[in-house]
Structure 1
Amino acid sequence: MTTLHVVSHSPFADDRLQSCIRLLRPEDGLLLCGNAVEALRDGTKPRALLDEAAAASRSIYALDEDLAARALAGLPEWLRAVDYAGFVELSCQYQRVNGWT
């Protein structure tokens, strides 16, 4: 069963993102939203974890509105930015949605 994992908390506040990445299966997806997009800042440990997950063919998405709100630039090529309509499409594409709250 495929799962879309949704993480919204800052990766610098707790270890939810790290725990989520450990549990990702190849067919799963990871959507970063809210403060979780801070994990994409280059040169950080969370970014290194995401780079490793992407290298292992994991699908990683981020809400473009949250990327813009935090003025994140220099995003990796493996990242797929989605709008809210894209978030809804992803929720339908995967069999389950798991929010890491």
Structure 2
Amino acid sequence: MPPPFDGHLRTLHAEAMERDTAAEHWLFPGRFPAKHLSSSRLTGRLRLLGVRPRTARNIALIELASEPPASSSAACSASTRTPPTPGTASPARTTPTPC
């Protein structure tokens, strides 16, 4: 979560954990006890503050999709060792694995 939202969420979480009952431990409590704030109500509140949740979500998904997973970049940096040819003086070669 980018600043300044990270600080606000940490504060909300700390306040929720200080409440007496487990039913009140919602990060975004709703109107009634033991109920969370509905997604449509949260979206409405965010829009009043100028935040467009759908746009922000789509941008985050596009950024995640544009980054290669760590496992694939590790596989691309791997190399294979070719043993020397028997009966010749050629040394063993190391070639990168194609991606």
TM-score by length of 1: 0.25
Q: Which has the larger radius of gyration?
A: 2
Q: Tell me: higher relative CO, structure 1 or 2? Use CA pairs within 8 A at least 6 residues apart.
A: 1
Larger proportion of helix:
2
Larger proportion of strand:
1
